[in-house]
């Protein structure tokens, strides 16, 4: 009996010894499983990064398409307003400086009437050239001489003139020393002198006015205003004549004369 138990003990001991290598073999496979798990996680991470990049690129392309589509659908007026600013931004600084410099010297003139006016001349049939106050007016690339505006650069100009006539008698009753204005002809003439010709001859380019029947017991006023485009060569002059010049209003806001060159904006750049 004791011998059987001893043999059982030896057999169990031998089985335990033979099973020990299998236990160690199982332990040696654990790092392999661990490496496989890490590799799987790394692949999954790379796939997630790749998918995120793909989604980002897709959204970026979609936003770009939306931006292009929205810009194409902008109203024509809005695009036309922005295009000049973009073009101006792309213009070189030197070119912009030249453009701004040219803007400052656009030929123009605006002259108020010169006072005092000779009110002694009451001959209604005689026209008189008006003289203007160049000291209190505007002259840019245009000269003034003896009632005439003289252009320095030829081209198409807008020439304008306005004259106001007024008559006022203080008090009531008749005044024998006052001229008769019951049938006054108030006419404004604008002339063009071509100095390029051998013989300077003025050409009438504008005429306007009216025959007024004024009441000499009250304040009376009448204004004539004219304007048109005229092609002027270098050195040409324009001037204004009026009838009944003794009736001219001396206020600079009422009587003035000027010229402005057309097409200056097209020469800026």
Structure tokens at 268: 């800026």
Q: Coil, strand or helix: which one is 59? A: helix
- Asked which of 109-113, 169-173, 238-242, 257-261 is least confident by mean pLDDT, the reply is 169-173
Q: How far apart are CA 216 and CA 195, in angstroms?
A: 43
15 has a pLDDT exceeding 70: no
Q: What are phi and psi of 67, to 5 degrees?
A: -65, -40
At 155, the pLDDT band (50, 70, 90 cuts) reads very high
* CA distance linking residue 88 with residue 76, whole number of Å: 19
Confidence grade of residue 240 (pLDDT, cut at 50, 70, 90): very high
Does position 244 have pLDDT exceeding 70, yes or no? yes
pLDDT surpasses 50 at 268: no
Mean pLDDT of the chain: 77
Strands (E) in the chain, as ranges, are: 108-112, 127-129, 138-140, 142-145, 148-151, 155-167, 184-193, 202-212, 220-232, 237-243, 256-261
If pLDDT is split at 50, 70 and 90, which confidence band does 25 have? very low
DSSP annotation of 132: B
Contact 246, 117 (CB under 8 A): yes
């Amino acid at each position: 009996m004791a011998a059987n138990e001893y043999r059982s003990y030896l057999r169990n001991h031998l089985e335990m010894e033979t099973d020990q290598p299998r236990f160690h073999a199982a332990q040696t496979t654990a790092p392999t499983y661990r490496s496989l798990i890490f590799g799987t996680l790394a692949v999954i991470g790379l796939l997630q990064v790749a998918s995120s990049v793909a989604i980002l690129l897709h959204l970026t392309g979609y936003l770009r398409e939306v931006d292009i589509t929205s810009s194409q659908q902008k109203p024509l007026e809005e695009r036309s307003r922005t295009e000049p600013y973009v073009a101006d931004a792309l213009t070189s600084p030197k070119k912009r400086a030249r453009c701004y410099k040219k803007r400052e010297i656009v030929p123009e003139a605006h002259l108020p009437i010169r006072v005092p006016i000779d009110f002694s001349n009451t001959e209604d049939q005689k026209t008189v050239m008006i003289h203007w106050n160049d000291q209190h007016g505007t002259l840019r690339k245009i000269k003034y001489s003896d009632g005439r505006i003289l252009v320095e650069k030829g081209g198409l100009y807008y020439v304008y003139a306005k004259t106001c006539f007024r008559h006022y008698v203080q008090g009531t009753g008749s005044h024998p020393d006052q001229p008769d204005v019951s049938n006054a002809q108030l006419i404004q003439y604008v002339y063009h002198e071509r100095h390029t010709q051998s013989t300077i001859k003025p050409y009438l380019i504008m005429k306007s006015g009216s025959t007024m029947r004024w009441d000499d017991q009250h304040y009376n006023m009448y204004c004539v205003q004219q304007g048109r485009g005229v092609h002027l060569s270098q050195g040409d002059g324009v001037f204004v004549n009026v009838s009944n010049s003794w009736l001219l209003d001396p206020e600079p806001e009422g009587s003035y004369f000027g010229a402005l060159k057309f097409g200056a904006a097209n020469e800026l750049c």
